A and B are shown apart, each in its own frame.
Chain A
Amino acid sequence: MKTLVEAVNDGLHTEMERDPSVMVMGEDVGILGGVFRATAGLRERFGSDRCVDTPLAEAGILGTAVGLAMAGFRPVCEMQYDAFSYPCLDQLICHVGRYRWRTGGAMEFPITVRMPYGGRVRAPELHDDSPEAYYVHTPGIKVAIPSTPADAKGLLAAAIRDADPVVVLEPKLIYRTARGEVPEGEHVVPLGSARVARQGTDVTVVAYGAMVAVAEAAAERADASVEVLDLRSLKPLDEGALLESVGKTGRAVVVAEAPRVAGFAAEVAAVLAEKAILDLRGPVVRVTGYDVPYPYWTIEDAYLPSPERVLAALDKVMAF
């Protein structure tokens, strides 16, 4: 049994062992082993040139990773917190997602960006964000979000091995509370494959990251038979699994902790509107964060999707 953050650490060890071109870089990832200990032991095992304590500069971390990729490395960049990643968006949008295109496909930029994300950890401002929409919206980028320890290891391995740049968002709320069996040695979960976390027949709750557990908790208490679909990968999106589940249940609720407007839940709803309209027996309802700055922690529980809010959405959809 491993926790989710231990599985990330295991995945980094395994991939660095397997491929000498993989290097980990970021703030405090070396001697400290990362503020969440996700990179603990890497520096001792692989040396300070492969697990690099960088200057405190997120755009510089990702910008130099572009150059390191040009020199033949596979950089795995840690952004210390979700909201601290915003300075790196300049490099991500202007270069990481475009450079392959700019070379006519001649050069690959196998860069992985991983970061803890999400709320309810009782932290100061800007340690709580869910920035996945910025990343998913950027052409040339792929985005994965695990909800279990095994997937944390397997999706990270897929990201590191992918020829394209991949952002992996790790739900920090469940870094140490999610525990599960994690395959020893090499373990890859392909990008673009969703997971049915709970079987059901009446309604599908689509979720990812820490919201999968919220969806499952609501499903336990619901009168209806609820299927929970853990997307695992936002881009590529497993449309087949989504359409299959909603084709079966005819109803969908989408749960995400990011703000609502133009968030990924809206994308899921749009896919269902375009491709599953005749299967739907009710509206696709979103349960998300609100379009406000992420609140201080004494009131953050009111902001985040809760099992109660998911249940209310389920009632609405079932009663339609």
Chain B
Amino acid sequence: MRASMRVEPSPAMPELRRVIGDGEGHPDGEVTGLDDAGLLALHRSMVLLRTYDERSLTYHRQGRIGTYAIFWGTEAIQAGSVHALDEVDWVFPSYRESAIGLLRGMAPATILAWWRGHPAGWWDPRERRVASICVPIATHVPHAAGLAWGLRLRGERGCAVCYFGDGATSEGAFHEGANFAAVMDAPLVLLCNNNQWAISTPLAAQTRAAALADKAAGYGMPGVRVDGGDVLAVYDATRQAVERARAGEGPTLIEAVTYRMAPHATADDPSLYIDEARVEEERRSECVARYEGYLRRRGLLTDELAEAARADALAAMREGIAAAEALPAPDPALVFDTAYADPPAQLVAERAELLRLLSEDGR
């Protein structure tokens, strides 16, 4: 690596916020807004996401879902932020947060159907205020900015959180969305999962910025850096950003610093570019175990509760994959039926023609 590609900390680089200690030299901190029940609910959310992710990898290997974007190790970013929201707030996931709807009560079968390429994986974003999964990089940032701006125009209390990765900050859509959000005082939280890799491209090849949070200054919004493996640090930073948003003070950029502890997706072979020893080291301090350590030190988490959280999540996944696999083959009419509210006549004719051919074939 060229010397110039090494990134030195900038004088302005925000501190990396942590709340959870290590049980030894660094003491545990506290956050406002979560009582004991809230702390345990957050744990159950993390376990649900972790279980979803691990089971999905297995389902992929068994040929039961298609290509899957693994998010192992980022449950703290997703659960920590969602738990800092109210029901009125919107969530804009990238494919890395495909299962974030689970935290809003979405059925695992719905998301598994999405990864199975079945139209039952579609949902109405208004039902749970979870936008559709964004597959292209960063193009949903302007959507979240526009929606948040719209909530402000309507005088509603809600705000929006938009999730994206470090690579997304190189995209024009990130820039345009962040800038619009700032200019329109949109109640938006921009939450960057900086796992330091965009498939095989390391952060140092992505930007010369010392910290992604530094980019916030260019938009006139605060930039915050948190340890992305520390669920309480993510929760606290999101809570504060949401408070600002609701107070009409506009958007905040949160950089949650983590490390990609799994392949980019099931089709990826990171052995070609990543340092496996570093991955192993990162996995040893993964976020679910860190949070469980915190809860145990506080005397909140027992073996029984931990086991129950896992058992419930596993049961939900068993039920979910069974339901997804039991879905009937989708009606080919669906190729046509949702593209337009009022379809052009040519499309209506093509639909009839295809359905006639399919029925003649007895398919």
Contacts and interface: CB of A to CB of B under 8 A. Distances in A.
B340 A140 contact: yes
Given A64-B149, A66-B146, A72-B154, A103 B123 contact: yes
Interface stretch (B30-38, B134-142, B194-202, B299-307): B134-142
B339 A100 contact: yes
Given A68-B149, A71-B146, 18 more contacts: A57-B179, A60-B145, A60-B177, A62-B142, A67-B146, A71-B147, A71-B150, A71-B151, A71-B153, A72-B150, A91-B139, A100-B341, A104-B338, A105-B338, A107-B124, A108-B341, A163-B341, A163-B342
B346 A237 contact: yes
A139 B149 CA distance: 27
B342 A64 contact: no
Interface stretch (B54-62, B64-72, B125-133, B241-249): B125-133
B342 A164 contact: yes
Contacts of B340: 100, 140, 142, 164
Interface string A40-73: 0000000001000011010110111111111111
A13 B316 CA distance: 53
Nearest to B176: A60
Interface string A91-104: 10011000111111
Interface of A: 49, 54-55, 57, 59-60, 62-73, 87, 90-91, 94-95, 99-108, 139-140, 142, 162-164, 192, 235-237, 239
B345 A103 contact: no
Which of under 10, 10 to 19, 20 to 34, or 35 or more describes the interface residues of B?
35 or more
B143 A64 contact: yes
B7 interface: no
Contacts of A101: 338-339
Contacts of A140: 339-340
B122 A107 contact: no
Given A64-B145, A64-B177, A68-B149, A55 B183 contact: yes
B342 to A, nearest CB: 6
B150 A55 contact: no
A106 B173 CA distance: 25
Contacts of A99: 132
B144 interface: yes
A91 B142 contact: yes
B156 to A, nearest CB: 8
B148 interface: yes
A255 to B, nearest CB: 22
A67 B341 contact: no
Contacts of B132: 99, 102-103
25 contacts: A55-B183, A57-B179, A59-B142, A59-B176, A60-B176, A63-B143, A63-B177, A64-B145, A64-B180, A64-B184, A66-B143, A67-B143, A67-B146, A68-B146, A69-B146, A70-B150, A90-B136, A100-B340, A102-B132, A103-B123, A104-B338, A105-B338, A107-B126, A164-B340, A164-B341
- Among B142, B146, B344, max chain A CB count under 10 A is at B146
B293 interface: no
B130 to A, nearest CB: 11
A72 B146 CA distance: 11
Given A105-B338, A105-B341, A237-B346, A63 B139 contact: yes
B142 A60 contact: yes
Question: 5 nearest interchain CB pairs?
Answer: A67-B146, A63-B142, A71-B150, A64-B146, A60-B176
B146 A107 contact: no
Q: Which of B140, B147, B151 has the most CB of A within 10 A?
A: B147
Contacts of A100: 338-341
Contacts of A54: 180, 183
Most buried by A among B150, B183, B339: B150
A67 to B, nearest CB: 2
Contact of A142 (B122, B147, B338, B344): B344
B345 A236 contact: yes
A64 B173 CA distance: 10
B337 interface: yes
A164 B341 CA distance: 6
Contacts of B338: 100-101, 103-105
Given A100-B340, A102-B122, A66 B183 contact: no
